[in-house]
Amino acid sequence: MEGELLNLITGKTLSKEDKDTLVWSGDQSGAFSVKSAHLNLCHQHEGSSKEVFSRLWEAKAMPKAMVTAWGILLGRLPTFDNLIRRGLVVTSSSYVFCNGFEESAQHIFLDCVLAQRVWSSCFRWIGILSVQHKDILVHFESFQLPHYIANQNQIWMGFWVAIVRCI
């Protein structure tokens, strides 16, 4: 980050006559808007799916747990919604633990009351207060913390992998 800062300020000069202004780099006009922020965030998320998988394989976790997490992030688990999408005849699409809710990876690992209890218990155990994302990829990405060194991040992402394996 220091290198990026130095690249940004190299060749710039300060002058008393210049007026300070804030410029939003997410839009060509330089003006901030909620729409430009939303478009910026959507664009970042689309391009980051390859990075998510490379980060996943760096996580410190058991191989079976890694394969499970990989299937979850790819959306390839044999949940009822995936089986129906593939044309298989399924008698019921409701999740066994939550009658009335369709079984999907999203519901099983994030939306289900039981999963939310697991995540909350794990966060409380570590001493973290956190808002959980409702998208599985973003939820995993939230376990990449910029102020951690690489080894700490690998362990922290392994924690996510272990939790989804347990769920």
Contact 152, 121 (CB under 8 A): no
Number of domains in the chain: 1
Structure tokens at 128: 């973290």
Q: Tell me, yes or no, whether 41 lies in a domain.
A: no
Contact 67, 77 (CB under 8 A): no
Q: Tell me, yes or no, whether 103 lies in a domain.
A: yes
Structure tokens at 5: 């800062």
Q: Tell me, yes or no, whether 132 lies in a domain.
A: yes
Checking if the pLDDT of 43 tops 50, the result is yes
Q: Tell me, yes or no, whether 128 lies in a domain.
A: yes
Q: Tell me, yes or no, whether 7 lies in a domain.
A: no
Q: Tell me, yes or no, whether 105 lies in a domain.
A: yes
Band (106; pLDDT cuts 50, 70, 90): confident
Band (140; pLDDT cuts 50, 70, 90): confident
Checking if the pLDDT of 162 tops 90, the result is yes
Q: Residues 24-41: pLDDT tens digits?
A: 777 788 888 888 877 776
> pTM for the full model?
0.64
CA 103 centroid distance within chain:
21
Q: Which amino acid is at 63?
A: P
What is the domain range of residue 54? 48-166
Q: Tell me, yes or no, whether 104 lies in a domain.
A: yes
Checking if the pLDDT of 47 tops 60, the result is no
